[in-house]
Amino acid sequence: MLKLQRSSGWSLALNVSTCLYLFLYIVYTSHHCLYIDLATITDRMAVKMAVQCGNVEDAIEKVNDLNPEILDTNPQLFFHLQQQRLIELIRNGKVEEALEFAQEELAPRGEENPNFLEELERTIALLAFEDVSNCPVGELLGISQRLKTASEVNAAILTSQSHEKDPKLPSLLKMLIWAQNQLDEKAIYPHINDLSTAMLEDPAT
C-alpha cells in the first residue's frame, strides 16, 4: 500500500509517481537479471573451473552443451582452447601425444592464420627446454595462461547469452537504492530491505 506524506501539490504527486515508476521498473528488471544470472552462472563457472584446472576437453564439452555455435563461430577462441590442451599435454610430459595433437589439430589452423601459427610455434618451443624456468615462453605453463583462456571463454559465453561483459545488476541495485531514498522522503511504500533476496516487505514490518 502506497501512502503519500503531507502533499504540497501536483508537483509532489508527479514526483512521487515518477520515483515509484522508476522503483517498480528497477525491481522488475533486477529480478529478471537476477533470474538470468542465477540460471547461467553455475554453467559458466563450471566451464571456467574446468579450464583453470587444466581440464580443457571437459570445458569444450560443456561449452558445446551450452551452445555449439560459440566455438563454431569463434575460431580464435577454439584455437586458444586447443592451444591450452596442447599446453596441458606438455605440462604432463606427454611429448609424443603433444606433437601428434599439434600436428593434427593445430597445424592446419596455423596454415590458415599466421597469428595462430606464431602462437603454435611459441607453444611447441616449450618442448625444447628441459628446464622451463629458462624458457623464454615459460609463462605459458603458468596459472595466468589458464586464467586468460578461462576469461576469454567466459566472455564468449556471456556474449552468446546476449549479456554484457560487465553485468547490469550492480548498476540497477544502485539505482534501486537511490529510488528508495527519494521515495522515503515522500511516501510510505513496500521496501526492499534485503538486496540478496529482492523481496518487497510491508513498511509496517
Burial readout 132-157 (b: 16 or more C-beta within 10 A, e: otherwise): beebebeebbeeebbebbbebbbebb
Highest mean pLDDT among 25-39, 71-85, 151-165: 71-85
**Eight-class DSSP state of 142:** S
Query: Considering the entire predicted model, what is its pTM?
Result: 0.64
Which has the higher per-residue pLDDT, 158 or 3? 158
- In this predicted structure, what is the pLDDT of residue 164? 46
Residue spans of beta strands (DSSP E) within the chain: 3-4, 187-188, 191-192, 200-201
Helix (H) / strand (E) containing 38: helix 10-52
d(CA 175, CA 191): 14
Mean pLDDT of the chain: 78
User: Is the pLDDT reported for residue 143 higher than 60?
Assistant: yes
- Going by C-alpha positions, the residue among 164, 147, 156, 199 that lies closest to residue 36 is 164
pLDDT digit string, tens, across residues 55-113: 999 999 999 998 999 999 999 999 999 999 999 999 999 999 999 999 999 999 999 99
Which has the higher per-residue pLDDT, 28 or 191? 191
Residue spans of beta strands (DSSP E) within 55-188: 187-188
